[in-house]
A = this chain, B = another copy of it.
Amino acid sequence: MTITLKVALLGAGTVGAEVARILTQDAAQLQARSGAALELSAVVVRDTAADRGPHIPRELVSSDAEAAIDGADLVIELMGGLEPASTYIRRALSRGASVVTGNKALLAEQGPELFALAAENGAELSFEAAVAGAIPILRPLAESLAGDTVTKVMGIVNGSTNFILDKMDREGADLEAVMAEASALGYLEADPSADVEGHDAAAKAALLATLAFGSGFSIDQVHTEGITAVTAADVEAARAADQVIKLLAVVERSEAGVLMRVHPTLISREHPLAAVHGAFNAVFVEAQNAGELMFYGPGAGGAPTASAVMGDLVMAARHRLAGSAEPTRLAAEPIAALPVQDAITRYALALDVADAPGVLARIAQVFADHGVSIEAMRQNGHLDGAAELRIITHAGTQRALDATVAAVNKLDVVTGITSVMRVEGN
């Protein structure tokens, strides 16, 4: 006896088309792995007239999502955007169909509601593809580390910005030049703002925190800074200090709650995240017992993202056959999201100062007055009697650092603060 599960595919673009290909090409293997024949029963798109190639038979294509959903056991949502994706996913879950999605934008807004709806209906809502493309990270966080306590996750979760920063680092070029090139190579969206301003990474930060800490978080709770202010001089200074600048999504747990932030970050070149080049992604996890783990791979692209979708689909099918759906369950007591002012990190500052005796002492005193302790200070004289001062602090709160920066800025010997950047890792 062959059991058949009907699969509705909502969206057949970059990722959806690859999912359709794999469903056709690897049908026998997928059946062996999942225990059921996975039959593509409907493909929903906007443009129903377009030819979609050999893996998407014309007769399955329509724009009628409701009919597609109502006729399916498993629904794959790869349209993107909030609506109508949200309405469709809710419809599928309400009918008890398990849903697989790669829609980080939607989940970072409505994740907790959607998980609850899935759990109510004994259905699964899986979303491995939504964070770091092909990299298995959500299942390891939720299952492999189920017996451990994750304290911090740091991810390079946006390929475009990593490509840009990596090129700036390798070539010493400045942001505009590299962006123009990345754009020409097709590495940037037509509107790159979601990438370079950090919003895409922020959505993923909210999802990583949700999985790592088992409570619902949304994108508006994530402090977000993009890479637009990173200069060739910052990259060069980092290089001189044997560091590299990466756009990191950092989520961490303390007694008080969870802190989520996305910003350009200095890390040592010895740190495993420093070896993540080009458009690759990686997620670095700190857990109480496991120590430091890292997961690395392609963060986007049709086939890699489809791989993650298919893993979720096979597991959803298995669970459906066994009647053992494993809905994502969040803590009954939500965990607080903390303001970025509470963030505790090290900082690297660059100041333009007068090159005169006593300047260092006065600046150091301001740091001391605000309880921010200095790890290293280095002065590079200029020709014109001015100097550049680079300061690395020990860990302190953003609150204390901000107050320090404001006070330092008022000193008459300080001409300007040219860069303030957070430092992660040892």
Contacts and interface: CB of A to CB of B under 8 A. Distances in A.
Nearest to A324: B324
Nearest to A287: B307
A313 B147 contact: yes
A29 interface: yes
A144 B308 contact: yes
Interface string A271-303: 010010100000000011111111111100101
Interface of A: 18, 22, 26, 29-30, 32-34, 128, 134-136, 139-140, 143-149, 270, 272, 275, 277, 287-298, 301, 303-304, 306-315, 318-319, 322-324, 326, 331
A321 to B, nearest CB: 10
A322 B322 CA distance: 10
Indicate how many identical chains form the complex: 2
A14 to B, nearest CB: 13
Given A139-B144, A287-B307, A319-B324, 15 more contacts: A26-B149, A33-B147, A134-B289, A136-B140, A136-B293, A140-B140, A140-B144, A143-B143, A145-B311, A146-B315, A291-B303, A294-B295, A294-B296, A322-B324, A323-B324
Nearest to A296: B294
16 contacts: A22-B289, A34-B146, A134-B289, A139-B139, A139-B144, A140-B144, A143-B143, A146-B318, A147-B312, A147-B314, A272-B275, A289-B304, A289-B306, A291-B298, A295-B295, A323-B324
B290 A308 contact: yes
Nearest to A32: B331
Contacts of A331: 32
Contact of A139 (B143, B306, B318): B143
Contacts of A315: 143, 146
Nearest to A285: B297
A297 B307 contact: no
Contact of A145 (B146, B148, B307): B307
Contact of A146 (B33, B135, B296, B304): B33
A300 to B, nearest CB: 11
B134 A293 contact: yes
Contacts of A277: 270
- 7 closest Cβ contacts across the A-B interface? A147-B310, A324-B324, A136-B144, A289-B307, A290-B307, A293-B297, A136-B140
